[in-house]
Structure 1
Amino acid sequence: MPDTAHDFRTYVEENLDALGTDPGRVALVHQGRRVTAGEFRALVHRTARAMRGQGIDRGQTVTLLSGNLPETIAARYAANLIGCRVNHLYNKLSADVQATIVKDVETGALIVDPRFDDRAAELTALAPVATVLTLGPAKLGTDLLELAAAESDEPFPSLAQPDDICTIRHTGGTTGHPKGICTTYGQVRSFVADNDEDAGDAKVIWERPSDEEAARLLVCTTLAHAGGMMADVTLREGGLVVLHEDFEPGEVLAAVERERITHLFLLPPLLYQLTDHPAAATTDTSSLRCLTYGGCQSSPARIADAIRRFGPVLVQFYGQNEAGGISVLPAEEHDPDNLERLRSAGRILPNVEVAVRDENGRDLPRGEHGEICIRSSSIMQGYWKQPELTAEVLRDGWLHTGDIGFLDDENYLTIVDRIKDMIVVVGGHVYTTELEDLLNTHPQVAQSAVFGVRDADRMEQVYAAVVPAAGESVDEDSLRTLVREARGAMYEPARIEFVGSLPLTDAGKPDKKKLRELATTAA
Structure 2
Amino acid sequence: MYLTRALHRSLQQQPDEIVTIFRGRRRSYREFCARVARLAGALQALGMRPNDRVGILAQNSDRYLEFAMAAWWGGGVLNPVNVRWSVPEVVYSLDDCDTGILVVDDQFLPMADGIRATARREPVLIHAGDGDAPAGMLSYERLIDDAAPVPDAERGGDDLAIVMYTGGTTGFPKGVMQTHSSLWCGTLQRMADTPPLKGGRVLHTNPFFHIAAIARVLMQFIAGETHVILPSFEAREVLETIERERITELGMVPTTIQMLIHHPDFPSRDLGSVQRLGYGASPISAAVLEQAMEKLPGVEFAHSYGMTESMIVTTNPPGNHGSTARAQGLHLSAGCAGIGIEVKIADAEGNEVPRGTVGEILVRSGGVTPGYWNRPEDTARALRDGWLHTGDGAYMNEQGYIFIVDRIKDMIVSGGENVYSAEVENVIGRHPAVAMSAVIGVPHEKWGEAVHAVVVLKAGAQATEEEIREHCRAHIAGYKCPKSIEFRQALPLSGAGKILKRDLRAPHWEGKARAVN
TM-score normalised by L of structure 1: 0.77
- Go from structure 1 to structure 2 and tell me whether the alpha carbon gap of 1:174 and 1:293 turns closer, same or farther (over 3 Å shift): farther
Which ranges of structure 2 fall in alignment gaps of 5 or more residues? Answer: 426-433, 448-476, 490-517
Which residue of the partner structure matches residue 304 of structure 2?
317
User: What are the within-5 Å matches in structure 2 for residues 41-440 of structure 1?
Assistant: 41-127=33-119, 128-136=121-129, 137-139=132-134, 140-153=136-149, 156-171=151-166, 176-192=171-187, 199-208=188-197, 213-225=198-210, 226-311=212-297, 312-335=299-322, 337-338=326-327, 340-420=329-409
Instruction: Establish whether residue 31 from structure 1 lines up as the match of residue 23 from structure 2.
Output: yes
Q: CA deviation at 1:360?
A: 2.8
* Letter in structure 2 aligned against 1:118: P
Show CA shifts across 1:441-488 (max 9, x none): xxxxx99x9x999999989998543459xxxxxxxxxxxxxxxxxxxx
* Letter in structure 1 aligned against 2:354: P
Which ranges of structure 1 fall in alignment gaps of 5 or more residues? Answer: 1-8, 193-198, 423-431, 437-445, 469-508
Q: CA deviation at 1:203?
A: 3.8
Which residue of the partner structure matches residue 514 of structure 1?
481
- Go from structure 1 to structure 2 and tell me whether the alpha carbon gap of 1:223 and 1:464 turns closer, same or farther (over 3 Å shift): closer
Q: CA deviation at 1:522?
A: 11
Which residue of the partner structure matches residue 430 of structure 2?
none
Indicate conservation of the 8 Å contact 2:6/2:224, yes or no. Answer: no
Show CA shifts across 1:21-49 (max 9, x none): 22222211111111122111110001111
Q: How many Å separate the matches in 1 of 2:55 and 2:487?
A: 34
- Same amino acid, percent of matched pairs: 28
Show CA shifts across 1:203-262 (max 9, x none): 422344xxxx41101011211112233123213312111110110112111211111111
Q: CA deviation at 1:160?
A: 1.6
Q: How many Å separate the matches in 2 of 1:332 and 1:34?
A: 35
Greater Cα shift, 39-48 or 125-134: 125-134
* Letter in structure 1 aligned against 2:390: T
Q: CA deviation at 1:338?
A: 2.9
Q: CA deviation at 1:60?
A: 0.8
TM-score normalised by L of structure 2: 0.78
Q: How many Å separate the matches in 2 of 1:264 and 1:462?
A: 28
Q: CA deviation at 1:93?
A: 0.7
- Go from structure 1 to structure 2 and tell me whether the alpha carbon gap of 1:412 and 1:122 turns closer, same or farther (over 3 Å shift): same
- Go from structure 1 to structure 2 and tell me whether the alpha carbon gap of 1:174 and 1:281 turns closer, same or farther (over 3 Å shift): farther
SS in 2 for 1:278: coil
- Go from structure 1 to structure 2 and tell me whether the alpha carbon gap of 1:399 and 1:72 turns closer, same or farther (over 3 Å shift): same
* Letter in structure 2 aligned against 1:66: A
Indicate conservation of the 8 Å contact 2:57/2:80, yes or no. Answer: yes
Indicate conservation of the 8 Å contact 1:372/1:401, yes or no. Answer: yes
Q: How many Å separate the matches in 2 of 1:310 and 1:112?
A: 37
Indicate conservation of the 8 Å contact 1:50/1:144, yes or no. Answer: no
Indicate conservation of the 8 Å contact 1:379/1:399, yes or no. Answer: yes
Alignment RMSD (CA, Å): 3.3
Q: How many Å separate the matches in 2 of 1:367 and 1:295?
A: 24
